[in-house]
Structure 1
Amino acid sequence: MSAVPRALPLRRALAGFLQYLSLVLASAVVIVPLLAVVLTSLRTGQEMAANENPLSAPGNWFNLHNYKVAFTEGKMLRALWNTSFILVFSLLATVFIGSMTAYAVDRFRFRGRRLVLALFLVAALVPSVTTQVATYQVVNELGVMNTRWAPVLLYMGTDIVSIYIFLQFIRSIPTSLDEAARIDGANSLTIYWKVILPLLRPAIATVVIVKGVAIYNDFYIPFLYMPSEELGTISTSLFRFKGPFGAHWEVVSAGAALVILPSLVVFLALQRFIYSGLTSGSSR
């Protein structure tokens, strides 16, 4: 009988060790590539030719020449403006369409409300590649091809994840608030605007981060629907480094670091909203 109590601390210690080991390995998978990008971006062309190890330390830790080349030759400022334009209008539309859809599905009882959610889910399950020919024709017929509005219209399509994030928060808002507002003479739109929407701030922050990162990193849609170099986004401008800087990995890495920096800053600033947005609604 004494062998069983002795085995319990051993198992707990082993379980704790495996838990921390998995966390360390998962962190290494994320951190090591980022570290390689930063270290490579600080090295010179001669250092890259002498040692191709991406984790080698640079000779000068304050070598910003590669960043200057990437920023100027890659037209990163113009790319950042194009990306910001697309992000702002796409996210505004996603927030309003997604929150209104969730509000209507949760607060109103009408025939086919389950069908609405099912259609969003079916649309999310259909591979986007299978509809690209038809989508391309629609965008071309609308006359927005090779403009910033083409990706905005495509990103405006609210995905099922955004709707469910808004739904779980709206379900946690007591319906008594709606009833009190109706007694005061407010209609459904006023209730949504003045009661529901202000309480959805954590959910809005979550949707903005989740979908914003996806839009920021997307390459396919800007590359296909905005082929003009003047309309290059962050991702397509970085892709164009493959031409004159195809073999200069130190410059490519500097461009990648510039692309990573804005999204990293925004994530660190709003990470508490992400965690609360993903957990608070389900815990209430």
Structure 2
Amino acid sequence: MTKTRHILTSALMIPLACLMAVPFYYIIVNTFKTQEETANHPLALPTHWVFENYTKVFQGTEILHSLLNTIYVTAASIFLMLAIGSLAAFGRITGRSKVSTIIGGVLVAAFVIPGQATLIPLYRMLVGVHLVDSLNGLVVLYACGSIFCYYLILGYMRTIPAEIMEAARIDGAGPFRIYWTIVLPLIRPILVTVGVFQTMWVWNDFITPNVFISSQDKQTLVLQVYSAVGQFTTDWPAFMTLTVIVLIPMVIFFVLMQRHIVSGLVSGSVKG
């Protein structure tokens, strides 16, 4: 029975995997073609492999500068989201009161509101504090993703036996010491899981930097890809080369971290 199930699963998943791989094949194979060949034979292998597209992209765009901008925004945002989300979850666990319950309800309401509906108010707020067209402004906006982190970490943190924190409190440990030396190491799996999800979101996000960034020297990688699309003509091989350059770090990152995603979510599903 188990062998039959494995065969059926493979028979279903292999065609689906091949179907999902078609867009990646389409993008990658066209980075080694000329503009004419890409237009005439988009799915065929190149008749003559052209490697100049990658050289042209690195020489003709600020791709490296945009890469540094993206790394800074992603790293700073993830750090703030994990710090704020874990501290808020710890406060919710250890300080249960009517105030924390009300705040939790407000966060639920904020979580269900689509981000696109708040773009105009957010823009006006950032104008008031001079953070529009600023990488730090992007970091502040992405830090709002702490709400997502808070809920995942809260569910995981509830699986930690209360006796552990109570014993530390009896021994004289303060709240921050309990959080830093006891809770933080125990919730590391969910921190990694949330960090992976949020890293992929921030790295690939287009709407936020497109609305709040206007300077060329502050563009992220995704904006570099968008700027490669011309109004009347587009160099499709160069466009797809930029797309591949943006995708490669995230593909490598996801492959390396995927086992932590599963372990983090599964570890928090059972108490004890």
What TM-score, normalized to structure 1? 0.87
Alignment of 1:110-189 (within 5 A): 110-189=97-176
What residue number does 2:74 align with?
87
The 1:192–1:152 alpha-carbon spacing in structure 2 relative to 1, beyond 3 Å, is: same
Mapped pair 1:56 → 2:51: no
Q: Report the equivalent of 2:197.
A: 210
1:107 positional shift: 2.4
Please list every run of 5 or more consecutive structure 1 residues that lacks an aligned counterpart in the other structure. 1-8
Report the CA distance shift for 1:100/1:146 in structure 2 as closer, same or farther (over 3 A). Answer: same
SS of the residue corresponding to residue 243 of structure 1 reads coil
Residue aligning to 2:91: 104
Q: Deviations over 1:46-94 (max 9, x none)?
A: 4325x333x2112345x42111222232311011111111111111110
Shift of 1:36: 0.9
Q: CA deviation at 1:116?
A: 2.5
Bigger radius of gyration among the two: 1
- Correspondence 1:43 to 2:33: yes
1:34 maps to 2:7 = no
Give the letter for the 1:212 counterpart. T
- Out of 225, 228, 232, the residue aligned to residue 215 of structure 2 is 228
Q: Does the aligned pair in 1 maintain the 2:165–2:178 contact within 8 Å?
A: yes
Distance 2:233 2:31 in 1: 14
* CA-CA distance at 1:252 after TM superposition: 1.0
Residues 142-163 of structure 1, C-alpha deviations (whole Å, 9 max, x = no match): 0111111111111111354322
- For 2:25, give the aligned amino acid: L
Q: Could you tell me whether the CA contact under 8 Å between 1:70 and 1:76 is conserved in 2?
A: yes
CA distance in 2, matches of 1:16, 1:88: 40
Q: How does 1:216-255 map to 2 (within 5 A)?
A: 216-243=203-230, 246-255=233-242
RMSD: 2.1
TM-score normalised according to structure 2 size: 0.91
Given the alignment, which residue of 258, 277, 280 partners 2:245? 258
Aligned length: 270
Q: C-alpha separation between the residues in 1 aligned to 2:99 and 2:16?
A: 43
Say if 2:189 is the partner of 1:199: no
Extract unaligned runs of 5+ from structure 2: none
Distance (Å, rounded) in 2 between the aligned partners of 1:134 and 1:118: 21
| C-alpha deviation, 1:183, in angstroms | 2.4
Describe the SS at the equivalent of 1:283: coil
**Cα offset, 1:22, TM superposition:** 3.4
AA paired with 1:56? A
